[in-house]
Amino acid sequence: MRNILISGASRGIGKAIALELLKKGHYLSLGVRKKENLINTPLDPKLNNPESFLVHRYDATDQNSSKLWVERTVKTFKNIDTIIHCAGILKKTNLIFNDNEIKDIEDIWKVNVMGPWILTKHAWKYLSLSNSARIIVLVSMSGKRSKGNLASYSMSKFALMSLCQTMRNEGWEKGIRVTAICPGWVNTDMAKEINNFPKKDMIQTNDIASICSNLLDLPNSSVPFEIAINCQLETIM
């Protein structure tokens, strides 16, 4: 069983992954902005064993919350051997953006890039002790190609992909394996405004959760660096 940090576990992909890994019996430490959102759900701390399940405040724009979350997890579980980075935001910023949209670009940079970077940095020494640690990052197809008018989102996801490559390089000798998951549209709140593609034909969160669960069963020698999953035909996988 693994000791796993999951960011963005309140909704969408992060929540589906948390539910799947809870079923599998892993030790889970969930980072969420508002703990009250989990009350009376299967991820309510009151309904789970405090020795193997905890929920901590985490805001990707607040470095201290990341540090405190890691410290609390190590205090409870003694170690961290897995991080699954799911927290993320999407803003539709055009290349030629309006002056009042500069904050959107700054926010997307802070949450989508600096968030995972800082959280990984805080947990790195613990990951390094395990010899078979895993980092799974929800990147996107937007980290592989730039499409439509998502300038700031795509910029952040290309940067996140680069961060994944660096984590892989620097973690390799320590047994840390990194997987960048690159989905097209996933049926969550993030994709709710997409009206030209049926929700039922989008990637479903449970399928990403199964992929993550299976990834955690693989030995150091067989962990894929990138998993691209698209629900639409494109020239890039």
Ligand X SMILES: NC(=O)c1ccc[n+]([C@@H]2O[C@H](COP(=O)([O-])OP(=O)(O)OC[C@H]3O[C@@H](n4cnc5c(N)ncnc54)[C@H](OP(=O)(O)O)[C@@H]3O)[C@@H](O)[C@H]2O)c1
Q: Catalogue the active-site residues.
A: 153
Nearer to ligand X, 99 or 113 (CB): 113
Q: Min. distance of Cβ 104 from ligand X in angstroms?
A: 13
Q: Min. distance of Cβ 230 from ligand X in angstroms?
A: 10
- For 99-119, b/e burial (b = at least 16 CB within 10 A) is eeeeebbebbebbbbbbbbbb
Q: Min. distance of Cβ 16 from ligand X in angstroms?
A: 8
**Phi and psi at residue 131, in whole multiples of 5°?**
70, -10
Q: Min. distance of Cβ 191 from ligand X in angstroms?
A: 4
Nearer to ligand X, 23 or 34 (CB): 34
Nearer to ligand X, 77 or 153 (CB): 153
Nearer to ligand X, 3 or 187 (CB): 187
Sheet holding 82-85, edge to edge: 53-57, 27-32, 3-7, 82-85, 134-138, 177-183, 226-229
**Phi and psi at residue 178, in whole multiples of 5°?**
-120, 135
Q: Which residues contact ligand X by CB under 6 A?
A: 7-8, 10-14, 33-34, 58-61, 86-90, 111, 138, 140, 183, 185-186, 188-191
- Tokens representing 161 are 């992909």
Nearer to ligand X, 45 or 175 (CB): 45
Task: Please state, in angstroms and as integers, the Cα–Cα distance from residue 170 to each residue in 33, 129, 149, 204, 212, following that order.
Answer: 29, 14, 33, 32, 22
* Helix or strand run (H / E) with residue 55: strand 53-57
State CA 125 to chain mean position distance.
Answer: 19
Helix (H, G, I), strand (E, B) or coil at 221: helix
**Cβ atoms of residues 85 and 136 within 8 Å:** yes
DSSP percent split of the chain into helix, strand, coil, nearest 5: 50, 15, 35
Q: Min. distance of Cβ 208 from ligand X in angstroms?
A: 8
**Cβ atoms of residues 6 and 29 within 8 Å:** yes
